[in-house]
Structure 1
């Protein structure tokens, strides 16, 4: 993977790193679809003018911060439907369960919807310590109200539906400077100053998240793995892969991007992009904690998109529509582990 965000203790995907530009670029890049403080109806804000970028840097106009409704909606679960899904089936003392995630133990563990009509004698599987499990492509009826999956048939692997969308995009939103990305101060571009910059960023007013873009680095994880597979010495590749001077530190704030840039420049001399967001990290984390979505299996703050991402057992589009109506488009995205069977 060319770009990455390092996980933190909570579910928000964050990271620190970077290598800075002799050319500062401060860019506004919020969701644009979220309701603004002055217009809670969800209408889109005026388009953001393009950044005026030069070798010395540039600033674009701010994106209005947005205000989330104080109370979460009462969501209606989708109707029962014929679906297809790629999943594991596991049975312990609870009976057969549909599992899209298995805990890495032996035997594995999971929790999920009950599977009605499952017979282990009909399907190849593994077994250990009274637990049976296997991975399959399944078609049947899922009822979100009862969270029960009634099996109709097991399909060939090639009929597996496409996985849910939502891969994080760790590219840098700031336009590339005219002379390309450069390091402003090599003495302030170290692992130590990188950690200091991350700590300083988290204290900024309106902090909305941070990540790193490793696209300036010619070395990739794939290069490292290939060298290791061929028995080569990977020490030099590892060192370059983690070089702070080959990383762009991306920081999002909801206010005063120029002030954020100036503050981080006191400790960080690497490539740096400050972008504006509609919501702070604290606001999205609070939304994650208060929101109850029928059939939700996981949720996380998607820092690069400045939104809350939620995965559910099944959504026919109605959950997404209800959330869009309440919060405005682009604030919460729902991905479904089961797809309608056509």
Structure 2
């Protein structure tokens, strides 16, 4: 009986280790089943953040300048810790001495809220000016868009908007900071859009379905 059982086990092991026509292949690992993101419906190609080459840009409104060794401009969410935490784009030409008494410190960390102006090459912002929170007047800010939410924005987003949000998150635009769905549109906040990112999502999802909001905007003279 023991000998018969041992032989049965050996035969089972040999069968499991043999490739046959009945072998099942996991589709997720089958090279023939691999798909590129470009072939996915609604996919948007990713790449570099578009630079602004036609003069200066500024932050949409006040933004956090964070310095834990090198100054960065945080255009997205900021963790409400002490000191706060965030990651942003590098700032070139930032001098804290120009903002004496208008920022906070904790150890070697320095930070403050500023409306920052400069040029943007797609990676780094070179600073030409900054208005601290203490003297910033949003009502007199020519670059601050009034931007009411799209019509029908009140309430919860429906399944269609939520599905589009998932697709946008799966294929993020360059410089994406946040994505959220409203009943009217899926809103994507990005570091900077020169109009090309909006054209991409319009082509992928249809006009008015996804709204791209650039956190860096052209300076109005």
Do the aligned partners of 2:42 and 2:167 also contact (CA within 8 Å) in 1?
no
Unaligned runs of 5+ in 1: 1-68, 172-209, 212-250, 254-278
Higher helix share: 2
3-state SS, counterpart of residue 120 of structure 2: strand
- Measured at CA, do residues 300 and 128 of structure 1 come closer, stay the same or move farther in structure 2, by a change above 3 Å? same
Per-residue CA deviations over 1:88-132 (Å, capped at 9, x if unaligned) read 211013x10101332111111111001111111111211013210
Cα distance in 1 for residues equivalent to 2:146 and 2:180: 15
Q: CA RMSD in A?
A: 2.5
Q: Are the counterparts in 2 of residues 163 and 337 from structure 1 also a CA contact under 8 Å?
A: no
Would you say how many aligned residue pairs link Structure 1 and Structure 2? 166
Cα shift at 1:167: 3.4
1:300 matched to 2:198? The reply is no
Contact 1:166 1:335 in 2 (8 A): no
Aligned to 2:170, which of 290, 305, 311? 290
Aligned mate of 1:138, from 112, 116, 134 = 116
Q: Name the structure 2 match of 1:84.
A: 58
Does structure 2 retain, via aligned residues, the 8 Å contact 1:75–1:319? Answer: no
Does the CA contact (< 8 Å) of 1:80 and 1:143 recur in 2?
A: yes
Aligned partner (choices 105, 109, 117) of residue 127 of structure 1: 105
2-structure distance, mates of 1:170, 1:319: 22
TM-score in terms of structure 1 length: 0.44
Which 4+ residue blocks in structure 1 deviate beyond 6 angstroms? none
Q: Give 3-state SS (helix, strand or coil) of 2:207's partner.
A: coil
If the length of structure 2 is used for normalisation, what is the TM-score?
0.66
Report the Cα offset of residue 314 of structure 1: 1.2
Aligned to 2:84: 108
Larger radius of gyration: 2
Q: Greater relative contact order (Cα 8 A, min sep 6): structure 1 or 2?
A: 1
Can you list the C-alpha shifts for 1:211-242, whole angstroms capped at 9, x where unaligned?
3xxxxxxxxxxxxxxxxxxxxxxxxxxxxxxx
